Amino acid sequence: MSWRKETRRAERGYHHGNLKEALLQAALGLIAEKGAAGFTFADAARMAGVSPAAPYRHFRDREELLSSIAQRGFEQFEALLTQAWDDGRPDTVTAFERVGKAYLAFARNEPAFYSAMFESGLPVDANPTLMAASERAFGIIRAAAERLAALAPPGTPRPPAMMMALHIWSMSHGVASLFGRGDAARRKLPMSAEDLLEAEVLIYLRGLGFPTDRRPAAADQKPSGPPPVPPAGPWGTPK
């Protein structure tokens, strides 16, 4: 029996022992449930079994708790994007699309973090730590764009990597915000958010001159290996 030294039992005595962490977890659950706006400091305290004033020993105010969550969110986000990018393996275009999908997956699987990070209205640029975490996450997208830009087909002007990164970011964020959430503000879609974004990115990359129809950028990585399943095109099979 693993007796985690945690929020088990209300008779934990006067001192909680791990309140800060418990509050963060409680808040995460509450935000996922009722949105960043509906989340309540007092509720988190109640859920942790402490008085409404206790949280103030660990967070200056409600906003700082939110910031902490956003901070963690950006860190997890960065980790997820890093993993998705996987340093561009097996090939740059494939990895690039995986990053886009990871963005969506994060929005869908971690609505609380996503909400705190992008929809809570907290001033990201006012908090240097938060800002830095945000920049690091975006840095992954930017690094991926850098690699992709370097593979621009010869003869065409090379697209600025920063611009590409911003474009990919805005596409991912737009799709995630409009269609990628569990049930809030959902709209009827003829396709999944994932497919929508994938097609969008593919069309965009094609617009930059990247070959995307068959094996993408075969000269990119080691030229051997089994060819991935060739997609029929950016929007399924044209009938």
Partner DNA sequence: CGGCTCATGTAAAAGCCGTTCACATGAGCT
Partner DNA sequence: AGCTCATGTGAACGGCTTTTACATGAGCCG
Candidates 16-24, 92-100, 183-191, 214-222: pick the segment binding its own copies (CB under 8 A). Answer: 183-191
Q: Which of 42, 79, 132, 191 binds its own copies (CB under 8 A)?
A: 191
CB of 182 to its own copies, least distance (A): 12
Provide the mask over 154-173, with x wherever binding to its own copies is found by CB under 8 A and - wherever it is not.
---xxxx-xx--xx-xxxxx
Using CB under 7 A as the binding rule, whether residue 136 contacts DNA is answered as: no
Q: Within 10 A of 72 (CB to CB), how many other CB atoms are there?
A: 17
In the complex, what is the shortest distance from the CB of residue 186 to DNA, in angstroms, rounded to a whole number?
A: 23
* 123 forms part of the interface with DNA (CB under 7 A): no
CA 102 to CA 80: how far, in whole Å?
7
Which of DNA, its own copies, none sits in contact with 15, Cβ below 5 to 8 A by type? DNA
Choosing from 25, 34, 35, 62, the residue that interacts with DNA (CB under 7 A) is 62
Candidate list 6, 61, 135, 213; residue touching DNA; CB under 7 A: 61
Partner whose footprint covers residue 41, from DNA, its own copies, none (CB < 5 to 8 Å by kind): DNA
Site string for DNA, 33-52 (x = CB under 7 A): -------xxxx------xxx
Question: Which residues, in sequence order, are CB contacts of 231 under 8 Å at separation 6+?
Answer: 202, 213
Question: Of these, 119, 127, 142, 146, which contacts its own copies (CB under 8 A)?
Answer: 119
Count of residues that interact with DNA, criterion CB under 7 A: 21
| Number of residues near its own copies (by CB under 8 A) | 52
- Give the residues lining the site for DNA (CB under 7 A): 13-17, 19, 40-43, 50-54, 56-58, 61-63
